[in-house]
Amino acid sequence: MKITCIGGGPAGLYFALLMKQQDPAHEITVVERNRAYDTFGWGVVFSDQTLGHLREADAPTAEAILSAFNHWDDIEVHIRGERIRSGGHGFCGIGRKRLLNILQARCEALGVRLQFETEVQDDTAFADSDLIIACDGLNSRVRTRYAAAFEPDIDLRDCRFVWLGTHKRFDAFTFAFEETPHGWFQAHAYQFDGDTSTFIVEAPEAVWRAAGLADMEKEASIAFCETLFARHLDGHPLISNATHLRGSAQWIRFPRVVCRRWVHHNGRAPVVLMGDAAHTAHFSIGSGTKLALEDAIELARCIGRAGGDLAGALRAYEAVRSVEVLKIQNAARNSTEWFENVARYVHLPAPQFAYSLLTRSQRISHENLRLRDRGYVERYEDWLAARAGLRRSPSQQPVPPMFTPFTLRGVTLANRVVVSPMAQYSCVDGLPADYHLAHLGARAMGGAGLVFAEMTCPSPDARITPGCPGLWCEAQAAGWQRIVAFVHANTGARIALQLGHAGPKGSTCVPWDGEDRPLASGNWPLIAASPQQYVAGVSDRARAMTRDDMDRVLADFVRSTRLAAQAGFDWLELHCAHGYLLSSFISPLTNQRTDGYGGSLEMRLRYPLEVFRAMREAWPPQLPMSVRISAHDWVDGGTTPDDAVAVARAFKAAGADMIDCSSGQVSQRQKPVYGRMYQTPFADRIRNEAGIATLAVGAISEADHVNSIIAAGRADLCAIGRPHLANPAWTLAEAARIGFRDVPWPRQYLAGKRQLERNLARDTAQAGPVPQTPTHLEDLA
């Protein structure tokens, strides 16, 4: 087979040598525009795991790379004069030039033809090839030529960064943060050979411009960086090897590249994207070279297995690599956004700021950090627990973050786990009875710090279904009081009530009889901010609320608030999410009013804030109140995360103590992006920008998730829904699973505690060591 690789970077060189190794009869040419020894990077970083992949693919190349590596295990974070260090991360650094030379030498030894100083405008010059690999970088001309086929999505990120070097030798991968009058700058620094380190300086575009760097010559901007980071450089200068760049051109914005397709059949030789031409992953997780080499490994493997079916091999390559790359790019997106928003986190104490940095991608978790450096994690746990008022004796275990107490107003929760309000549709005439006593009582006994009753309605016509609970009369208050009394008498949990009005989503069947379907009979009129039909052509149509309606509904909420206090609830939440009545005012998708309650976000919030303030006035001042919001409608033109921060600030000013950060369910047109902890970023933003406590919800299913979220300061509490339906004692079971024994169980269940802990300890011992999750801080070149 005749193969041409357009681009002589790691992807093209490694693929060429792997294919030549696979079959020496292949005729392979690598075409590169630069000279053999030209490169404008500094160092490349690989994890220990990636080195293992290289050994499997081509041992001689791996050994040559290993012999030139500088190895280290530690990460250091520097902020405000404090230094936080953790270990066990397992990195190897090598100069980019050295890496390319190793790959070039291996190609030549195997008989690959290397053609340097050759500009390639497109692939037509190689029409006689059987396969063309377009690995010509993130500004790929080949990808641009066939953009209609590859469908690239290029997102230019917000920060400016410059890629420098220094002879200061860093003995750990170092993140340094320095404040200027214009905002924060950060440096990413690591040693990659005996006397040289990469030193990347980065700042948001607005900060970079405010500092005057857009107008500085190259030498002046390097001097600016040297002065700013002087305490980290120990007198060593910063060096640029981008001699071809002038002025501010050396400061670039990172382009995130995603291609819908990676293979194009143009009637001649198939053209295949590889490396940065196909995808990029932000340097803050450093996976660019890793991904390029793994592209090469996978394509060579697919061709080798295809038995001559090249088209089938290319389909398999695209299918496998597009999924694997997407996983890394999702982590890279989280990491990129963290560094773009450093100003959001600098208020955190230095230890928590560092922890937030380490876990920013959501691929590195609390328990994964413990595997890497148990001492670091236990010291951090002790620090976090002390801030919550706990001190452990030498005989006690460190307290995981999820088991630290949390206080709002006069209420202290024993831990950070919340049982989500989950609709059960099991009431008659809104009256909570034995079912809810068993349901909520079991979950309160299961160890959670706070148990929410499901959305409870302030009037009969506020219900979603006839099976929904209410709190509009004394009988219902007495039913709730019985449940609250049981929780208080038999458990260490607190219990909360969520009040909400279904609005345009009301008068429907219980889900098992037809979700979101109107009742066959006995319907009640629906109201909303504006006329609407939640499910087009199906739902009953809601009419716009009048001022009289607003006054009546507000009075209903106040009455329910007083009854909730009478019933003894510890906590009250107002439901302003998911397209229900108050949500219909907030979202521009459902509020088209032209009076004083529509238009701008400030006007759309007027009525929900009126209701909240009246409830806050009626609710005991020593007890907390939270508000559930839809932080993202997931529809163009709907509420955005930026809006959510403004909404949170408004409710905070009105007296809210916490924001419960959900999303969606406002429109049938929504397109959520699901995944582990997918709504936690909303809680993170609101907590750290609006300065109010938050409750994280959505796809949080393990103790490790909760510990990571709480420890990083991304939220103050975590609500667990479906896992609590499967196991009322989820909190106690997760404590046992992570080996935390110092958690109280109901005394009637202590025999079960001991057996569960013994069985889990035995299973862990039999399973052996748990493999580490890769760090993916691999290619900061």
Looking at the annotation, which residues are catalytic? 580
Q: How many residues does the chain have?
A: 781
Q: Would you tell me how many other CB atoms lie within 10 Å of the CB of residue 217?
A: 11
* DSSP string covering 282-347: -TTT--HHHHHHHHHHHHHHHHHHTTT-HHHHHHHHHHHHHHHHHHHHHHHHHHHHHHHTHHHHTT
Distance CA 413, CA 711 (A): 17
Cα 670 from Cα 659, distance rounded (Å):
22
Closest CA to 652 of 616, 678, 622: 616
Distance CA 97, CA 602 (A): 56
Q: What is the DSSP letter of 428?
A: B
Pairwise CA distance, residues 250 & 238, whole Å: 14
**Crossing angle for the helix pair 288-305 and 310-340, to the nearest 10 degrees:** 170
**What does the block give as tokens for 666?**
């406002």
| Segment (H or E) for 571 | strand 571-576
Report the alpha-carbon angle 509-510-515, nearest 5.
70
Q: Take residue 358 and report the two structure tokens written for it.
A: 């380490």
Q: What angle do CA 6, 9, 13 make, to 5 degrees?
A: 75
Which residue from 305, 354, 276 is spatially nearest to 87, judged by alpha carbons? 354
- Under a CB-based contact definition with an 8 Å cutoff, are residues 218 and 240 in contact? yes
* Residue 237 near residue 226 (C-beta atoms within 8 A): yes
Burial class (CB in 10 A: 0-12, 13-18, 19+), 24: exposed
Pairing of strands 183-191, 658-662: unpaired
Distance CA 465, CA 214 (A): 60
Contacts of 122 (CB under 8 A, 6+ apart): 141, 142, 145
| Cα torsion 381, 383, 389, 395: sign | positive
Beta-bridge partners for 496? 452, 571
Phi, psi (5° rounding) for residue 260?
Answer: -70, -35
Q: Residue 410 has which token pair?
A: 């006069």
Handedness of CA 508, 524, 534, 661 (dihedral sign): negative
Judged by DSSP in three states, 129 sits in coil
Q: What is the CA radius of gyration of the chain?
A: 30
Distances (CA, A) of 349 to 253, 387, 632: 29, 11, 29
Q: Do the bridges between strand 252-259 and strand 263-264 make them parallel or antiparallel, or are there none, so unpaired?
A: unpaired
- For residue 496 the two structure tokens come to 């909360």
The stretches of 182-260 forming alpha helices (DSSP H) are 205-210, 218-228, 230-233
Residue 544: how many CA atoms within 13 Å on its side-chain side?
12
Quote the CA–CA distance of 385 and 351 in Å, as a whole number.
13
In contact, 264 and 126? CB cutoff 8 Å: no
The Cα–Cα gap between 530 and 550 comes to: 13
> In Å, what is the CA distance from 17 to each residue of 23, 114, 491?
10, 11, 66
